[in-house]
């Protein structure tokens, strides 16, 4: 049984099929073709996930329990939300408020909020 619409017989006796082969192997059959990892994570080596604790950032649409995707490798911008280590905890901070000599731990590239 074949999924092709037009097959051209090759000289080696094997047919050439039009259309893409089905790339879904066993491990991906339960997943979407659109990979959320790819959407959210540009640099896997330098990306770490954190969980938001508390309500300090509710005004910015960041809620208790949200997952923050933090990239240490992203080129910093002034508009970034940065992660800093302060008073023995990790906290969020607008990057433009950071003193220039202070290095952020990483910057927020996405925040994942789940409703249910």
| Contact positions vs another protein (CB under 8 A) | 6, 8-12, 14, 16-21, 23, 25-27, 30, 43-46, 48-54, 56, 67-68, 70, 72-73, 83, 85, 88-92, 105
Closest CB to another protein among residues 8, 79: 8
Nearer to another protein, 3 or 78 (CB): 3
Residue 116, Cβ neighbours under 10 Å: how many? Answer: 2
Task: Give the Cα separation of 54 and 36 in Å (integer).
Answer: 26
> d(Cα 94, Cα 97) in Å, to the nearest integer?
6
Three-state DSSP at 43 gives: coil
Burial status of residue 71 (CB atoms within 10 A of its CB: 0-12, 13-18, 19 or more): buried
| Cβ at position 71, least distance to another protein in Å | 9
Centre a 10 Å sphere on the Cβ of residue 51 and count the other Cβ atoms it contains. Answer: 10
CB 88 → another protein: shortest distance, Å?
Answer: 6
Q: CB-wise, 50 or 110, nearer to another protein?
A: 50
Compute the least distance from the CB of residue 79 to another protein, in Å.
18
């Amino acid at each position: 049984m074949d999924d092709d619409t037009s097959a051209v017989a090759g000289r080696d006796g094997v047919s050439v099929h039009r259309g893409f082969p089905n790339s879904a192997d066993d491990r991906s059959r339960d997943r979407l073709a659109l990979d959320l990892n790819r959407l959210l994570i540009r640099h896997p080596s330098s990306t770490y996930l954190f969980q938001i604790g508390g309500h300090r950032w509710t005004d910015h649409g960041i809620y208790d329990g949200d997952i923050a995707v933090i990239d240490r490798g992203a080129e910093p911008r002034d508009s970034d939300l940065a992660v800093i280590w302060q008073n023995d905890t990790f906290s969020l901070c607008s990057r433009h408020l950071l003193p220039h000599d202070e290095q952020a731990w990483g910057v927020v590239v996405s925040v994942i909020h789940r409703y249910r």
